[in-house]
Structure 1
Amino acid sequence: MTERTSRTVLLRGGNVYSPADPFATAMLVEGEHIAWVGSDGAAEAYAASADEIVELDGALVTPAFVDAHVHATSTGLALTGLDLTGCPSLPAALERIAAFAKAAGDPGGVLIGHGWDETGWPEGRPPTLAELDDAAAGAALYLSRTDVHSALATTALRALAPGLDALPGHTPDGPLSRDAHHAVRRAALAHLTADQRRDAQLATLRRAAELGIGALHECAGPDISSEEDLAALLALAAETDGPEVFGYWGELGGVETARRLGAVGAGGDLFVDGALGSHTACLHTPYADAEHTGTAYLTAEQIADHVTACTEAGLQAGFHAIGDAAITAVLDGVRTAGERLGSHRVRAMRHRIEHAEALDPETVAAFAELGLTASVQPAFDACWGGPEGMYAQRLGAERAAALNPFAALLRAGVPLAFGSDAPVTPLDPWGTVRAAAFHRTPEHRISVRAAFTAHTRGGWRALGRDQDGVLVPGAVASYAIWEVTDLVVQAPDTRVAGWSTDPRSGTPGLPDLTPGHPLPACRHTVVRGRTTYHR
């Protein structure tokens, strides 16, 4: 990591997205903090004493993004290894697996890949175990499904997880889910070499910096990664210039472990249920394409005990809950904890629900009542929403159209923090903002400005740091510089006037994110006054 300095940097000649001055064109940074924002004319007073002057040439300066839900090692393995996302067919997937295994040779560990999705393949099925073994040439291979709630595992990898065939979710010839999936994932990650892990984590940090991301919330836990993995990531992030990494440890009763690891919360991917794509999200009524209601991993009483312990310890709790029955269990548990400790104490902790997809007006109101933060992923709707998408296959069109109601959450005053759940969907902050503003269900759309706030300041608020994520004097200097064309103020509904460029509105503009328009390109990322990426 480079030395911290008190260098003064003046940026001028662009557009600075700041609530302190909606017409700002310049910004002064002193060390780790923003010292001033204003006009180019006023900036002349600082030019002579600045250590560096950055000519923006019309570029846009914004707060750096915060991705509020990532899995850094798995993301890096997808970036550097086998990624089956978008693979068009089963034969094409097997070809990619074979080429990857051949190129890897003997890696000294387990081969890992991600992203297969049989719902988009003409064959409509994943590979059999025999097909997988043949393609992998006998290697130990772990392949997570796109939602990371089921996986394919070769015979060699299954052998590394003793007792696998007795666990719930085991199938002898197909994908593994539930406890069986967790067991093979633990085995796969345990057999990563130190170099594989470090290379993957570095790849994630580099990619995040290239995209203008200044902070990541790592959602770790015994079923999604390991203590060793989280400790290594936090140590690596501390050695680099950024992005910053904030760890969450998702283990029931894991308060002391979270503290020992340096995590900011005992939550994140603490699973109450699974995912819709794998038929493991827990529902009140059965799936449209399966005669069951999914999987419940925790009871309301267990949730209440965890929230109580976290609140008493001064740590955030957080839960992975996608289906409506899982969300109900979390709300009941948080309410019970409030009855035990006092609702004001529980609300003050801003406990989180990750994903929170299947909501109705009553559960949205409960989020507001209980002071919960909704840590959500708009790209899920972009990938699987709409009348012909995977959600409609699983739930039917009517129930699918009710998922991810971002506008209702905002109207109720529920804090939103946007993330990617990478590698489930890629690190893609502007794409995430676009997905929220152009939700496939129009009544769930929010303005670009609200979506941008959820992906910047919202991530900091989810950590309890309300002062961060804005470009104002005194704030931490974590920002990105973007090549843009027009700046507009976009409404959330394309059926009415989509934007206004009237300067009398006093509303700072953001890039035009209408589908089809190119997304902004990052030119420069700075975290706490230190450059993490420059193009």
Structure 2
Amino acid sequence: MKSRTVIFSAKKIITMNRSRPYATHVAVRDGRILAVGTLDEMSGWDDATLDNSFADKTLMPGFVEGHAHLLEGSMWEHVYVGYFDRCDPDGKVWPGLKSIDDVVARLAAAARELGDPSQPLLAWGFDPIFFGNGPRMSAHDLDRVSTQRPVVILHMSNHLLNVNRATLARVGIDRHTAIDGVPRDDNGDPSGELQEFAAMFPVLQLLRETVGFNFGEDRNAARNFANIARRVGITTSTDLANPLSETGIANLRAATDDPAFPIRLIPAFAPLLFKGQEGPAHLKAVCEYNTDKLRFGLVKLVIDGSIQGFTARLRWPHYYQNPGNTGSSGNGLWLLPPSQLASQLASYHREGFQVHMHTNGDEASEVAIDAVSQVLAMHPRQGHRHTLQHAQMVDGAQLARMAELGLCANFFSNHIYYWGDAHYAKTMGPERAQRMNPAASALRCGVPFGMHSDAPVTPLGPLFTAWCATNRLTLSGRVLGESERISVADALHAITLGTAWTLKMDHEIGSIECGKFADFAVLEDDPLVVAPERLKDVRVWGTVLGGRVMPVHQA
């Protein structure tokens, strides 16, 4: 049977294809783009159906989210205690909490609804950096919620958490625990704050066993995440840290096999539990399950922590204001020791995989760049496109080296709004904060880059991310690094074809041109016409995935 051709008309099509930047019509057949241009230019395709549903709308390539986590689809099962107002998947707005007392009050109300006093209470979204220079949250604060029930608060960054004394006792962390990332109080006891994976692991394991907490490995988390993504125009997203367990893979395959599943999903393998060549062999086997909507092959290595959590690794002069909780070194924590990075990178590089490295601080970025240089000297490989994720503090010299080595960057531009004031005043200081997430410098140096939300750290929303890079406004309204502002056109490129490049999928997604997947973001407004300061307010009508129309109001 002959395939059906549909021609979508639009007020404007922004193609991101330099040879044909704008059009009014796009023809779709078999889920792919057949042609782009004017209606007259479509006349050569027989038996085509004209669809005018988007005649008053703007079409763009579907947005590409290069660093997010399926946790965004499951965290709303737990209690939100963040500083900012935030909308849950059902549309309810949860007011942000402005003090530790407010956090305790919301948790106490949630605890009363749980019933069983042994059932742990999990909350998320907390960040002490917004609460001034007073004492940080302690186990004693959370003891006010319960002295029997384990109470756990995952920080907004996902790199730290706070617990009450009942939790510490349950997992066996006390004054004798010899793990870096367990700050002590004045009496020498654990303060109740746990930093990074080694210290957090026993608590995460407790949550996995008792409340089913995981890193988005269940089918419902994937579906919830995908529906949130669709509402903001995303058609392709990563899950940039997935253990790729047998159960998790089966759930992801089942979710994405559903024709109604509204995005293409790219899980990145986090090889925390694999040693030596076990990891590359496991990933190679998993790639046998690749489909058009589920793509394996990325690797995620986490080198340092969170800048606002003071666990990232910064070059001299380190932190502008050191709160005394930056690990035994006084300068953050290494999550992957520098001495081990090159060998880990090489094991995946030799097998042809693309490696994405979490580097927040500039010292971590330097270590990653050095490791890539070392590995390429031993194992030359063109087109590797290894990518520094976040890379928030890279400077001009580092960007020049990245360009020479063929490295990409994926900037966390949302940080400028959410934490820019804190970086200016507390973590980096005024000078270094001006260059954070240096998109304009990357353009000048020729480093390909995308931009991301790191959801659930910040909400999914590529147009908001583009707004951050274009305007560089902090929460207080300060312009942070005016010389690093980029144009709206460059920002839109970063959330489409730019991010697709960093995922080695630019031949399939990221622009509207013949042969690529028919994946579109359908917008009520033209982002190239609205004022740059209104870019975040551009309305998303819905998406098209492989030619299938998926409006925002779809259940």
Task: Give TM class, smaller chain.
Answer: 0.7 to 0.9
Q: Which runs of 5+ in 1 are unaligned?
A: 489-509
Q: Paired residue for 2:206, among 150, 173, 187?
A: 187
Q: Give the alignment of 1:360-399 within 5 angstroms.
A: 360-385=395-420, 388-399=421-432
Q: Paired residue for 1:66, among 45, 54, 64?
A: 64
Question: What is the identity, as a one-letter code, of the residue corresponding to 2:454?
Answer: D
Check if 1:402 corresponds to 2:423: no
Q: Give the alignment of 1:238-387 within 5 angstroms.
A: 238-239=257-258, 240-251=260-271, 253=276, 254-262=279-287, 264-265=296-297, 267-268=299-300, 270-285=301-316, 286-290=318-322, 292-342=330-380, 345=381, 347-385=382-420
Question: What is the identity, as a one-letter code, of the residue corresponding to 2:240?
Answer: C
- Which stretch has the larger CA shift, 429-438 or 462-471? 462-471
TM-score (norm 1): 0.85
Post-superposition shift, 1:49? 3.3
Q: Paired residue for 1:433, among 466, 469, 476?
A: 466
- Which stretch has the larger CA shift, 34-43 or 430-439? 34-43
Q: Which runs of 5+ in 2 are unaligned?
A: 85-96, 184-189, 288-294, 325-329, 473-479
Question: What is the identity, as a one-letter code, of the residue corresponding to 1:9?
Answer: V
1:417-473 deviation per Cα after TM superposition (whole angstroms, max 9, x unaligned): 222111111101100011111122111111111111111112221222222211112
Q: Give the alignment of 1:101-250 within 5 angstroms.
A: 101-105=111-115, 110-121=120-131, 124-135=134-145, 138-159=148-169, 161-162=171-172, 165-171=177-183, 172-178=190-196, 179-193=198-212, 197-221=218-242, 228-229=247-248, 232-239=251-258, 240-250=260-270
In 2: Cα distance, 1:518 partner to 1:404 partner:
18
SS in 1 for 2:532: coil
SS in 2 for 1:455: helix
Question: What is the identity, as a one-letter code, of the residue corresponding to 1:39?
Answer: T
Seen in structure 2, the aligned counterparts of structure 1 residues 478 and 258 have a Cα distance that, compared at 3 Å, is same
Check if 1:473 corresponds to 2:493: no
Question: What is the identity, as a one-letter code, of the residue corresponding to 2:430?
Answer: A
Post-superposition shift, 1:183? 3.4
SS in 2 for 1:358: coil
Seen in structure 2, the aligned counterparts of structure 1 residues 190 and 336 have a Cα distance that, compared at 3 Å, is farther
1:369-420 deviation per Cα after TM superposition (whole angstroms, max 9, x unaligned): 11111122110112112xx434531122112222211111111111112221
Seen in structure 2, the aligned counterparts of structure 1 residues 367 and 61 have a Cα distance that, compared at 3 Å, is same
Seen in structure 2, the aligned counterparts of structure 1 residues 416 and 25 have a Cα distance that, compared at 3 Å, is same
Check if 1:451 corresponds to 2:491: yes
Question: What is the identity, as a one-letter code, of the residue corresponding to 1:276?
Answer: I
**What residue number does 2:537 align with?**
519
CA contact (8 A) 2:312 2:360 kept: yes
SS in 2 for 1:173: coil
Seen in structure 2, the aligned counterparts of structure 1 residues 301 and 515 have a Cα distance that, compared at 3 Å, is same
CA contact (8 A) 1:303 1:334 kept: no
CA contact (8 A) 1:241 1:531 kept: no
CA contact (8 A) 2:128 2:137 kept: no
In 1: Cα distance, 2:363 partner to 2:470 partner:
27
In 1: Cα distance, 2:246 partner to 2:481 partner:
39
Seen in structure 2, the aligned counterparts of structure 1 residues 398 and 117 have a Cα distance that, compared at 3 Å, is same
- Which stretch has the larger CA shift, 193-202 or 110-119? 193-202
SS in 1 for 2:23: coil
In 2: Cα distance, 1:328 partner to 1:58 partner:
48
CA contact (8 A) 2:299 2:353 kept: no
**What residue number does 1:504 align with?**
none
CA contact (8 A) 2:232 2:542 kept: no
In 2: Cα distance, 1:113 partner to 1:7 partner:
49
Question: What is the identity, as a one-letter code, of the residue corresponding to 1:59?
Answer: K
In 1: Cα distance, 2:415 partner to 2:246 partner:
28
In 1: Cα distance, 2:222 partner to 2:111 partner:
21
In 1: Cα distance, 2:207 partner to 2:531 partner:
39
Overall identity of the aligned pairs, in %: 28
SS in 2 for 1:330: helix
